[in-house]
């Protein structure tokens, strides 16, 4: 099973701080982006069949919903921004070599 860590700091919601291994670099990257006003770490499902790492991005009111799939787990992360298209493009550019992005 993948390793999970805790992330805190600028823009990260205090209600939930556990992040799956696959999402750690993504969250740290988003924390450095000035266009992000808040990052809400969400539900984690574990013990899933092994697969490649993936990011599914969906536009929501006020931001993006990311579903980050690790080797054996998946986590939802809400990213609040006024520039969904720009943030999505930056994520694709930064992580397309590590994730399958849709």
pTM of the predicted protein model: 0.82
Per the structure, the count of domains in the chain is 1
Query: 60 is in which domain, residue-wise?
Result: 4-101
C-alpha span between 69 and 35 (Å, rounded): 24
Question: What pLDDT sits at residue 52?
Answer: 95
Spell out the residues 6+ positions from residue 86 whose beta carbon is closer than 8 angstroms to its own: 35
Spell out the residues 6+ positions from residue 13 whose beta carbon is closer than 8 angstroms to its own: 38, 39, 40, 41
Instruction: Tell me the per-residue pLDDT of 2-21, one tens digit each, with 9 for 90 and over.
Output: 455 555 555 555 555 689 99
The span from the first CA to the last CA of the chain, in angstroms, equals: 24
Instruction: Print pLDDT tens along the chain (102 aa).
Output: 445 555 555 555 555 568 999 999 999 999 999 999 999 999 999 999 999 999 999 999 999 999 999 999 999 999 999 999 999 999 999 999 999 999
């Amino acid at each position: 099973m993948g390793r999970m860590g805790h992330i805190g700091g600028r823009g990260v919601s205090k209600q939930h701080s556990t992040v799956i291994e696959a999402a750690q670099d993504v969250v740290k990257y988003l924390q450095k982006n000035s266009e992000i006003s808040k990052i809400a770490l969400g539900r984690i499902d574990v013990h899933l069949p092994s697969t490649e790492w993936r990011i599914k991005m969906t536009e929501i009111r006020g931001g993006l919903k990311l579903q980050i799939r690790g080797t054996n787990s998946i986590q939802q992360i809400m990213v609040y921004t006024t520039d969904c298209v720009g943030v999505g493009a930056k994520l694709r550019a930064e992580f397309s070599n590590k994730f399958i992005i849709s």
